[in-house]
Structure 1
Amino acid sequence: MKKIFTFCLLILALSKVKAQSTADYIAEHAEHAQKLMREHELPASIILAVAIHESAAGKSKIAQHLNNHFGIKGPNSNTEIRSAYRDYPDADSSYNHFVAFLHSRTYFDVLFDKFDQYDYKNWARGIQRGGYAASRTWAAQVIALINKYELYEYDERPDDYLEEVLPAVEVVTKSSPSVKKKSSASKKTYFVKKGDNLNRIAERNGTTSALLMKKNNLKSALLQPGQKLNL
C-alpha cells in the first residue's frame, strides 16, 4: 500500500510539471523579474526569457530539483540528482543571483551602463558576447522568446520609445568598385536613468554635453529620469 501511495504521489508531481505552460511560468515569475528590473535597470523581458530558455520554462531537472533557472554552475548539496549546477532555496533566489552574477563579471557589468532597461535586443547580444552561452544562436533564441511571448510588455517602455537602428551596411556597386554607398544615417535615442548626468551620457556616446544640449534644444543641463535624448 505504501508503494502504491508513493507511486501516486510521483505521478501527481510529474503531471503538475507537465501541466505548467510557458504562460503559467511567466505569470508566476513576472512580478519578481520586474522588481529586479526596477532595482537594476535590466529588462524584465531579458530576465524572463533567459530563465525560460535555460530552465525550459521551469521543467528542467536543475529547475525542479535545484531551483536553478539560469544554468549557473557551482556546488550544491542536493542528494536527489548529481549535477555540476548550484542549488538555491527557491526560484526567487536563482533570479536574484542571475542579476548579481551579471554585476560580478566586468564583461557583463558594463552592459548596465551601456544599455537601458528597454533595449532587450542589445542586452541579449551583449550577454552572448560576454560568453554566457557557447551557442552562437543563443541571443537570437532569447530575442525570439521575448517576441513570441511579448515579454517586452513587462519592460514598462515609454509610449514614444524608439529602438536603436543598427548602422547601415556599406554596398559596393558593380559599375564602380571603388565607390561605396551608405543608406540613410542611423538614429539613436536614449532615455535618462536615475543618477545620469549630461556629461556622463555624452562621454559614453562619443560626443559633448554642449552638442547634446544643442541637438535636443536644452536650455539647462539638468535632466529628469525618463527624459528622451537624441544622440
Structure 2
Amino acid sequence: MRNKNYFSEKILLPAYLACCFFLFCGISFPSAVWLSLNDYIEKYKGIAIMEMQRTGIPASITLAQGIVESNYGNSMLAKYSNNHFGIKCRSTWKGASVRLHDDKPNECFRKYNHPYESFIDHSYLLTSSERYATLFNYKSTDYRSWAQGLQKAHYASSKRYARVITSIVEFYGLHYYDTSTYQKYSIHPVYVDMVEKYAQKYGMSPDAAAAITDVQTIPVESEADTSNFNNLTQLIANTVKTEYTVQPGETMYGIARKFGTTVEAIQSLNALPTTQLKAGQIIVVLQ
C-alpha cells in the first residue's frame, strides 16, 4: 500500500499538476517530432497553394515566411500554439493567446487550434492592411517583387529579409508552387470549414478584408522574427549537392524520396521545365 501511495504522490500528482498548468496557461503539448525543412514543405505546401488561389499571395512567399518565422515548424510558438508566422495579438485579436519573451518580455502572441488557422490569419494580415496593399500589384508568380515589397513595408527590420526569402524560394524550388497548373498537393478537409468560420471566430472575414478601404494604419513595427536567418543560411550553405545518374525506370519523385528532397528542388537545381527524366541523364540533387 505504501508503494502505491508513493507512486501516486511522487509520479501521478506532479504529472497531473503539470498538465493542469499547461491547460490553465492556454498552452497545448507540442509534437515531439522534429520536422526537416523538406518535411515542412511537403506538409504545408497544400495550404499555401490554397491560400494563394484564394487571396493572390504567392505560395512560395507564404512557405518561405513560414520556414523563417517558425524555424520550419520547430519553434516553440509553432509547436505549442500553431503560430507559424510569429503574429502578435494586438488590440483587435479575439482569439486565444500565449505569452512569450520576444523583442520585449512577456509579449502576447496569437494561438490557434490548427496550423491552417495560422496560414489563414497570415493571409488576413497581408490583405487587410494598407501597409501591404502595394504587394497585390504584383503577380503571384513574381516572388522576387513580393519579397522586396515585404521588406520595404517593414515586415522585417533586417535588410537581409528579401535576400533570405528569395534564396529559400529558389534553393528549394518553392516558386514551382506559384503556377496555377500545379495540382500535386493534398490538404485536410477542415480547411474549407476554417475559412468559413473565420469571421465568426475572430470577428473578420478574410475574404472581405481585401475589399476594405477604411483600414486603420498599423504602426510600422516589424512582424518578422529574423533570429533564424543565420541557421537557415548555414543550412543552405552546408547542404551537399551531388551528381546522380538516372537509372532505367526511375522517376523524379522516386529520386526525390531516395535523397530526402523534393521534386521541386530537383527541378530548380537543374532548371528542368518538366519532371520527365531519361535513363542515363545526369542531374544534381540535394543530400
User: Is contact 2:97-2:108 (8 Å) kept?
Assistant: no
Q: Which residue number corresponds to residue 60 of structure 1?
A: 75
Matched residues, percent identical?
Answer: 33
Amino acid of the residue matched to residue 147 of structure 1?
A: E
4+ residue segments displaced more than 4 Å: 79-83
Q: Which residue number corresponds to residue 34 of structure 1?
A: 49
Q: CA deviation at 1:157?
A: 6.1
List aligned pairs for 1:178-217, cutoff 5 A: none
Q: CA deviation at 1:87?
A: 1.2
Q: Which has the higher contact order (CA 8 A, sep 6+)?
A: 2
Distance 2:30 2:120 in 1: 27
Q: Please, which of 152, 162, 187 is the counterpart of residue 175 of structure 2?
A: 152
Distance 1:97 1:14 in 2: 20
User: Is contact 2:141-2:178 (8 Å) kept?
Assistant: yes
Q: Which residue number corresponds to residue 94 of structure 1?
A: 118
Assess, with a 3 A threshold, how the Cα gap between structure 1 residues 43 and 80 changes in structure 2: closer, same or farther: closer
Q: Return 5+ residue gaps in structure 2 as ranges.
A: 1-6, 16-28, 91-95, 182-287
Q: Return 5+ residue gaps in structure 1 as ranges.
A: 7-12, 159-231
**1:16 equivalent in alignment to 2:32:** yes
Distance 1:64 1:108 in 2: 28
Q: Tell me the matched-pair count.
A: 152
Q: CA RMSD in A?
A: 2.8
**1:122 equivalent in alignment to 2:137:** no
Distance 2:62 2:76 in 1: 19
- TM-score, normalization: structure 2? 0.48
SS for the counterpart of 1:145 is helix
Q: CA deviation at 1:149?
A: 1.1
User: Is contact 2:87-2:109 (8 Å) kept?
Assistant: yes
Distance 1:93 1:42 in 2: 16
Q: CA deviation at 1:100?
A: 0.6
Distance 2:65 2:151 in 1: 11
